[in-house]
Structure formats: C-alpha cells, structure tokens
Structure 1
Amino acid sequence: MTVPHPRLSINQATIKYANLETALRVTADAGVQSIGLWREPVNEVGLDTATKMLTDSGLRFSTHCRGGFFTLPAGPERDAALEDNRRAIDETAALAAAGAEGSTAVLVLVAGGLPEGSRDLIGARERVRDAIGELVPYAQSAGVTLAIEPLHPMFGSDRCVVSTLGQALDIASDFAPEAVGAAVDTFHIWWDPQVLEQIARAGREGRIATYQVCDWATPLPADVLLSRHYMGDGVIDFASLTSAVVATGYDRDIEVELFNADIWNDDPAAVVARTVASFTATVSPHLP
C-alpha cells in the first residue's frame, strides 16, 4: 500500500455517497491525515456529533464546504443567504477546533451565478464583494478565513461569477489576509494564461487559504460539474502549478476534490486508495 503524503487531504466530495462516519473511517484507515468536510453530511448528524466524530478520528480538518451563493440583489433571499453563511462560519470554527493539531478554519465560498433574468456580470461580482464585507467581522470574531473559490468560466452563469484567481484576489484585497483569501483549485484555473503570475501574487499577499487538486480531461460529460478526474488522467500540469504554490511558502494541507459520477459510485475505500496513489505520482514529487 502506498504511504500517503502527510499533507494530502481527502475532500469529502470525492467520496460523496459515503456518510460522515464512513468518510472519516476510510480516510483514516488509508493513513491519510486530513479531511475536508461538506456541510450537508455534517448537518445530517448535527454539529455536536460531527465534531466528536472528527475528534475521535484523529484527522486534521482542512476546509469546510461551502458558503457563498450571494449574488442576489437586496431582499429576503439575500438576507437568508447571509445568515446561512454565518451558520457555516460557526460550523467551520467548531470543526477546526475539533480536528487534530494543524487543522485550519477555512470556509470555501462559491460566489453564485447570475440571478435569473440578469445579464449584469459586473454588478453580480460587486454584490459578492459587498456580501463578503458584511461577513468579514463575523468571520474574524470566529477566527475563520473566507476562501473565495474562482470557478472555471463555464460555471459563470449558474454557479460562480468569479472566474479567475485574479478576480478572487481583487475582491479579497479589500480585506485583511487572515479574513479573506482564495482557494487555488487546479481544475478551475489551469487554463488561465496568468495563473502562475496570480499564484505568485496570492503568495505575496498571504491569501492562499487552500490548494485543491484534480485533473481535467475532455470530452466533458453532459453535466460538466461531474468532469473532475484523478490526477494524471488528464492534461493539467501539476508540476508547474504545485511548484508555484510551494514557492509562495504555502505549507498547509492539499485537498483532492473529485466530482465524478463513476468515482462516486465506486467503493469509498478504493477511491481513497487510488487518490493516494495518484497524488503520490503527480503532486508529491513537487512538495518539499
């Protein structure tokens, strides 16, 4: 069995159909030391139970997914989204405190797409900036970093109006680095001609809140959301991207996050084992 790199973290989305108990168990049994959790499985068992389960697992906590979805104009729906993000901040703080030494209190934010009937992309991004500004004092009081995750432009209409790392950093620049950073996800940014320059910028500004890896391969499935692959099965250059992140001094966990129907339908333990092997082959060689 391949010994996992100590900085590898399994994002729970990779084994989506496993409940929290199973996800923690198969991750720990594989020798992986860290896990990123999603809100739905945590809320399914309740936060108190989830924190105890995490503590008992001995795993570090790398990120919580997800907050965001606040591109709506002012009104009850936007207010409800902001309140839900405050709950997500509370969950993140509690889970980070429950995880093993080295856990990080990072809440990943997916900005949200264009409101129905709107074509105002610039206005939607400004509402993201405004929403984060409303959440920052609450996040700071909880010791939580908000990580803006840019998504590939194909998700701009329905999921995320923030499409590049540069756009995420431009929004984050209004706030303290410990309060707002960025999620660097290879799937979403590998194509960007400025990606290495923007990773270096993120490092200078102290804003890399998490580094997430998976691969890109074509043709894409009908549901493009489910188009992530094990590292090495696609075209992404993990050597250059990982080296660029390492050069910034980033020394936290590195999450593998896979949205793929075939992977989800596989045995969770087998998925974790293959994740370990693919990470070892493609990412580990570029880590100190």
Structure 2
Amino acid sequence: MRDLARHPELLSINTATVRERWRLDEAIDGIARAGIRGIAPWRDQVAAIGLERAARMIRDAGLTVTGHCRGGMFPAGDAAQRRRIAEDNRRAVDEAAALGAQCLVLVVGGLPEGSRDLPGARAQVKDGIAELLPYAQDAGIPLAIEPLHPMYAADRSCVNTLGQANDLCAELGAGTGVAVDVYHVWWDPRIEAEIARAGEAGRLLALHVCDWLVPTRDMLLDRGMMGDGVADIRRLRGLAEAAGYDGMIEVEIFSAGNWWRRPPEEVLAVCAERFASVC
C-alpha cells in the first residue's frame, strides 16, 4: 500500500469541501497555494466563473482534474424531462472534456416525483447511461458510477451498493467504471469482494474519502474529516490499491456545521495532515 505521508502529490480536493467560503477561482488559487496537486470541481461552480476561464485557471495552476461533479439524475416522470436530462448530461461530458477531467462522476438519481417504482427508476438509470455512453466515449470521458448510501435511494441515487454499480458496468461495457466513496460504502459487507471485482475489470476510476460521524446529524451535510469518525479509511484504500487503483485520492466533505464554517486555508491544511496520517 502506498505511503501517503511520502506522496502528498496524490491528494486531490473536491471543491465541495471549501465551497461555502470560496468561489471556484478562489479554490483553484488556494488549492495550488497549499501545494495540493488535484482538484474536482462542481458544475455549478464552473458555470459561475465560466467554463473557459475555469479550464484555463486549472491548467495554469498545474492541477489534475480527478473528476467532474456531476452527471446523472436520470429517472424522470415523462419523455420530455428525460430528453432534457439527456441534453444536460451531454453538456456535462463536454465540460469534463474541456476541463481535462479524468472522469465524469455520475450520481444517478432516485425516484421521479410521486413514484414508488424503484425497479423502474433503476431501469431508467441503465437506459440513461447507455444512451450517454457513446457520446462520452467519443469525447474520451469515462463515466464513473458512484453508488450512494441507501439513505439516498429515494432522492439522489437508486444505485446504493458497489455491487449494483459493478453490475451496471458489466452490462454497459467499455467506458464505464465506478467511483468508490468511503462515506457511502464503508458499511457494505461485500465491499472487499466488490472492490476486487471492480479492480479485476479495470473499473476503479476514482476514490473519495471523508469519515462517517457518530451521530450523523444531517443526512447530507454532516460528513466528517478523516479520522473523526468510524470508517476504516485505510483498509478501504488498501483494498482499492490491492485491486489495482493507482490514482489520486479525493477528499470530499459536506459539513455545514463544522468544516464549511472554518477558513478554507485551515480546512486544506487539516485535509493534508489527515491525508498523510489517517488515510
């Protein structure tokens, strides 16, 4: 397993971690000043400063774009909405290509409004990715399916285990892979086998880290800094690396009550320290 204390260049920051205090241009500058070499921007942040400017600033700062957040949200209540979603996902692919992103992260979406048809939503996810895939392949952008914790099945993602994500990739084929986020999969009793399965197929596209707090006070906005919770981050990273993952490791923390309130420079310094000592 890689010694992260000796390889700080492997750290990437998902800009959600500092989004409440910094615009994207400020985050690019701040991350580069901190000596961090990777970044993963969000689409709304890119739009706020303009795609061309964002791409130029990231290139000039010498940062690697470990992922673009996010595409997906495929399930819809009618055909017109599905067409709008498909168009938006193609724009997300275009943005990822312009930014030089290593992948487009897919948060696939949950139940359409008023629906209780979870199998139907999952079928729409498969169909939506299948429709997007040729466009992404032409652009050279891998699609990274990110399974989310089951508490998000209704509203954010009906793909809730790495096994489900692996099954989708196996059906859809080349150009698809998985983003493994410790926050969402640390609890999964099949995680060892499914990480190995993803690695064997060459599907491990991204590795995201933060921690699971006890208690977790908000389903979305109370993620922990690495080392502050109960997830065995180092074990999961070891599983990923044993399965062939050799990419950067992305810190993604949504923390309305704690880390978003702190000066971003402090947050980045703690991220770097915990990356070296905990991850």
Q: Distance in 1 between matches of 2:50 and 2:82?
A: 25
Asked whether 1:129 is paired with 2:149, we answer no
Q: 1:35-74, aligned counterparts within 5 Å?
A: 35-74=39-78
Deviation at 1:139, TM superposition (A): 0.1
Asked whether 1:235 is paired with 2:251, we answer no
Asked if 1 retains the 8 angstrom alpha-carbon contact of 2:216 and 2:223, the reply is: no
Deviation at 1:250, TM superposition (A): 0.9
Please name the residue that 2:251 is paired with: 256
Q: Distance in 2 between matches of 1:271 and 1:4?
A: 19
Asked whether 1:226 is paired with 2:221, we answer yes
After superposition, the Cα gap between the structure-2 partners of 1:176 and 1:8, relative to the gap in structure 1 and judged at 3 Å, is same
Please name the residue that 1:286 is paired with: none
TM-score of the two chains, using structure 1 as the length reference: 0.92
Please name the residue that 2:199 is paired with: 203
Q: Identity of paired residues, percent?
A: 49
Deviation at 1:239, TM superposition (A): 2.2
Q: Distance in 1 between matches of 2:57 and 2:187?
A: 38
Please name the residue that 1:8 is paired with: 11
Give a deviation string over 1:8-35, Cα, whole Å, max 9, x none: 1000000012111110111111111111
Asked if 2 retains the 8 angstrom alpha-carbon contact of 1:106 and 1:146, the reply is: yes
Secondary structure, aligned partner of 1:225? coil
Q: Distance in 2 between matches of 1:183 and 1:7?
A: 16
Following superposition, which runs of at least 4 residues in structure 1 exceed 3 angstroms of deviation? none
Q: Provide the aligned length of Structure 1 versus Structure 2.
A: 273
Compute the RMSD of aligned alpha carbons: 1.3
Please name the residue that 1:100 is paired with: none
Asked if 2 retains the 8 angstrom alpha-carbon contact of 1:9 and 1:36, the reply is: yes
Deviation at 1:176, TM superposition (A): 2.9
Please name the residue that 2:184 is paired with: 188
Please name the residue that 2:164 is paired with: 167
Give a deviation string over 1:154-191, Cα, whole Å, max 9, x none: 011111100000001111112334x1111100000000
Asked whether 1:247 is paired with 2:250, we answer no
Asked if 2 retains the 8 angstrom alpha-carbon contact of 1:4 and 1:276, the reply is: no
Please name the residue that 2:147 is paired with: 150
Q: Distance in 1 between matches of 2:113 and 2:40?
A: 31
Q: Distance in 1 between matches of 2:244 and 2:169?
A: 19
Q: Distance in 2 between matches of 1:273 and 1:33?
A: 14
Deviation at 1:105, TM superposition (A): 2.6
Secondary structure, aligned partner of 2:240? helix
Q: Which runs of 5 or more structure 1 residues have no equivalent in the other structure?
A: 97-103, 284-288
Instruction: Give 1:11's aligned amino acid.
Output: N
Q: Distance in 2 between matches of 1:275 and 1:239?
A: 15
After superposition, the Cα gap between the structure-2 partners of 1:90 and 1:83, relative to the gap in structure 1 and judged at 3 Å, is same
Instruction: Give 1:199's aligned amino acid.
Output: I
Q: Distance in 2 between matches of 1:232 and 1:169?
A: 28
Q: Distance in 2 between matches of 1:254 and 1:33?
A: 11
Please name the residue that 1:272 is paired with: 268
Q: Distance in 1 between matches of 2:48 and 2:189?
A: 41
Instruction: Give 1:256's aligned amino acid.
Output: V
Q: Distance in 2 between matches of 1:265 and 1:163?
A: 30
